């Protein structure tokens, strides 16, 4: 199983609360992540113990230039940001180098896999939705 790892413990909280549903990675990562792929979402540093957050399915993989990131792309990656300038500064901190608006990034959107979503449970019990 492929791992989608995040370095900061700040992300663990955002992931667990469902506030972070995407990651923006520098470069074209379309060869690494594919739609409908199962991934293990973890938090931790390389060569150190990592915390297992949850399993997820990749919903969308989109390669674009930094300048073409939408406010929605940015918000799904980091709910505190909306503007490209904020995202560029953040990426520079992560990658330790200058990021240009012409640089290529990959937006990977994902959904947590839960044992039994409440909506499915409700349908199975005949609560809400269409009933026969």
**Span 2-36, pLDDT tens digits:** 999 998 888 899 999 999 999 999 999 999 999 99
Q: Provide the whole-model pTM.
A: 0.84
**Could you tell me which residue, 128 or 79, shows the higher pLDDT?**
79
Q: Which CATH class is domain 2-124?
A: alpha beta
Residue 116: band (very low, low, confident or very high) from pLDDT cuts 50, 70, 90: confident
Torsion of CA 80, 52, 116, 20, to 10 degrees: 10
Q: What is the pLDDT of residue 29?
A: 97
Average pLDDT over residues 44-64: 95
Contact criterion met (CB below 8 Å) for 22 and 109:
yes
Report the percentage of the chain scoring pLDDT > 70: 88
Residue 111: band (very low, low, confident or very high) from pLDDT cuts 50, 70, 90: very high
């Amino acid at each position: 199983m492929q791992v989608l790892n995040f370095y900061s413990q700040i992300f663990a909280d955002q992931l667990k609360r469902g506030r972070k549903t995407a990651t923006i990675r520098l470069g074209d990562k379309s060869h690494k992540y594919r739609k409908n792929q199962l991934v293990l979402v973890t938090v931790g540093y390389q060569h150190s113990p990592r915390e297992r957050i949850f399993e997820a399915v990749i919903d969308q993989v989109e390669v674009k230039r930094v300048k073409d990131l939408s406010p929605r792309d940015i918000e799904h990656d980091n709910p505190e940001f909306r503007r490209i300038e904020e995202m560029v500064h953040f990426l520079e901190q992560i990658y330790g180098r200058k990021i240009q608006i012409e640089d290529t990034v990959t937006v990977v959107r994902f959904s947590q896999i839960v044992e039994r979503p409440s909506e499915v449970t409700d349908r199975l019990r005949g609560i809400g939705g269409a009933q026969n």
